[in-house]
Amino acid sequence: MAGMNGRETERLLQEALGLHQRGQVEAAMALYELVLQEVPEHVEALHLLGVGSRQRGRAEEAVGRIAQALALNPGHATAHSNLGAALQDLDRTEDALASYERALALRPDYPMALANSGNALRRLGRVDEAIARYRRALALQPRYPEALANLAAALLTTGELAEAREVVEASLQWQPRSAQAWCARGAIMQRLGEAGEALASYERALDCDGAHVETLVNLATLAQQQRDHAAALEWAERAIGRAPRHAAAHLQ
């Protein structure tokens, strides 16, 4: 591959991007690495390599790669948003929010950054601000299942159960394999006292993502409410093993 010209490098990047979009993350990452062998400061290859690292569960590596890309191009709104997501994976919520805010300063009408900043605000206890962000994201992109699911979870926190239930059902229409939406539905049913429906929803969430932390936390809470202390401890340990700071904060 030595001595590729600019056109060949960009062709390789597009091939990698196509693989990435089809879910072939490792193959795409190998090609991003080839691009970087030719052009070590290729912003998009660094950025997308970081995105791939996050998708493979290597959040620290993702932060490093995306930060390299941003050092070269601080005006890359998508990279700021993806950096925020990687920081959120590391429970660095305030840093994540700062990254989302930088993305929004560059692109105020960026649905993903709006929704993700809502997630960070919700984790920081700023629920009303989170709801406003989700609503802004949905005004721009109405069929946004993740934003709908997270809006439902936020509305649950403020006690707006009827709207929360309506919103989460809409989310599941668009994305029936969403762990976050099934988790939100379970939490709503749990609040309504429908333990069986709650458990069924949580099971659907884990079928979508067996390591979904909020679902594990909620299952621990549900088991505790049902006086099943052994199950509560098991779910809590699984949650803490996955995301120690986030899970521990919600299990206190």
The tens place of each residue's pLDDT in the chain, 252 residues long, gives: 456 667 889 999 999 999 999 999 999 999 999 999 999 999 999 999 999 999 999 999 999 999 999 999 999 999 999 999 999 999 999 999 999 999 999 999 999 999 999 999 999 999 999 999 999 999 999 999 999 999 999 999 999 999 999 999 999 999 999 999 999 999 999 999 999 999 999 999 999 999 999 999 999 999 999 999 998 999 988 888 876 665 554 555
8 A C-beta contact, residue 44 and residue 31: no
DSSP annotation string for 95-156: HHHHHHHHHHHH-TT-HHHHHHHHHHHHHTT-HHHHHHHHHHHHHH-S--HHHHHHHHHHHH
pLDDT at 167: 96
pLDDT at 240: 86
Amino acid identity for residue 137 in this structure: A
Nearest to 221 by CA among 156, 158, 164, 125: 156
- Return the domain boundaries, the chain: 1-18+25-39
- CB atoms closer than 10 angstroms to residue 61: 16
Angle at 127 between CA 124 and CA 129, to 5 degrees: 100
8 A C-beta contact, residue 226 and residue 195: yes
